[in-house]
Structure 1
Amino acid sequence: MTWKVIKTEKEHRQAIKRAMEIFHAQPGSPEDDELGLLLVLIKDYEDRTIKMPQIDILEVIKEKMQERGLRNKDMEEVIGSKGHVSSILSGRRELTLKMAQRLRDFFNLPSELFLRT
Structure 2
Amino acid sequence: MRISEVSEQTGVTPRLLRYYEEQGLLVPDRDSSGYRDYTATDAEVARRIRQLLDAGLSTASIRTVLPCLTERAGRLAPICEETIADLKREQERIEESIEALTTSRDAIATVIAAGTV
Compute the TM-score of the two structures, normalised by the length of structure 2. Answer: 0.27
Which structure has the larger Rg?
A: 1
Compute the TM-score of the two structures, normalised by the length of structure 1. Answer: 0.27
